Structure 1
Amino acid sequence: MRTVIAGGHGKIALLLAELLTRRGDQVVSLIRNPAHAADVTAVGAEPAVLDLEHADAADLLATVRGSDAVVFAAGAGPGSTAERKYTVDRDGSVRLADTAERAGVRRFVQISTMGAGQPPTPGSDDIWAAYIDAKTQAEDDLRKRALDWTILRPGRLVDTAGTGLVTLAAPPVARGDISRADVAAVLAELLPATHTTGATLELVTGDTAINQAVAALADRTISDGAAPVAD
Structure 2
Amino acid sequence: MSQMVVFGASGRTGRHVCELAAGAGWTVTAAVRRLEGAAPAPDHAARLAADVLDPASVGAVLAAAKPDVVISAIGGGDIRVDDEGVRNIADACVVAGVRRVIVVTSLGCGASRTYASERLLAAIGEVLAAKTRAETHLTALPLEWTVVRPGGLIDGEPNGAGALFEDDRVHGRITCRDLAALLVALARDDDAIGMVLSAVDEASLSGPNDPVRYRVRGEAA
**What's the TM-score, normalizing by structure 1?**
0.80
Give the Cα separation in 2 of the matches to 1:154 and 1:126.
18
Contact map agreement 1:70 1:109 (CA 8 A) in 2: yes
Structure 2 equivalent of residue 90 of structure 1: 83
- Aligned counterparts of 1:216 and 1:71: Cα–Cα separation in 2: 20
Are residues 44 and 170 of structure 1, via their aligned partners in 2, closer, same or farther at CA, if it must alter by over 3 Å? same
2: CA distance between counterparts of 1:183 and 1:95?
23
Instruction: Name the amino acid aligned to 1:62.
Output: A
Q: Does 1:143 find its partner at 2:145?
A: no
Cα distance, 1:134 vs structure 2: 0.6
> Is it true that 1:62 corresponds to 2:66 in the alignment?
no
Measure, in 1, the Cα distance between the counterparts of 2:163 and 2:25. 27
Alignment of 1:103-114 (within 5 A): 103-114=96-107
Taking the aligned partners of 1:147 and 1:28, their CA distance within structure 2 comes to 20
In the alignment, structure 1 residue 186 sits paired with structure 2 residue 179: no
Distance in 1, Cα, partners of 2:168 & 2:120: 20
2:196 maps to 1:200:
yes
5+ residue gaps, structure 2, are 204-213
Partner in structure 1 of residue 216 of structure 2: 214
Give percent identity, aligned residues only.
28
What is the CA–CA distance in structure 2 between the aligned matches of 1:12 and 1:124, rounded to whole Å?
Answer: 21
Q: Given the two structures, how large is their TM-score scaled by the length of structure 2? A: 0.84
Q: Distance in 2 between matches of 1:123 and 1:20?
A: 35
Question: What is the CA–CA distance in structure 1 between the aligned matches of 2:34 and 2:60, rounded to whole Å?
Answer: 19
Compute the displacement of 1:44 (Å). 4.0
5+ long unaligned stretches in structure 1: 218-229
Aligned to 2:209: none
| Aligned CA-pair RMSD | 2.2
Q: Residue 201 of structure 1: CA displacement? A: 0.2
CA gap 1:97/1:107 in 2 versus in 1, 3 angstroms = same
Shift in Å, 1:166: 3.0
Measured against aligned partners, the alpha-carbon deviations of 1:109-142 in whole angstroms (never above 9, x if no partner) come to 0001011112675466766111010111111111
2:93 alignment partner in structure 1: 100
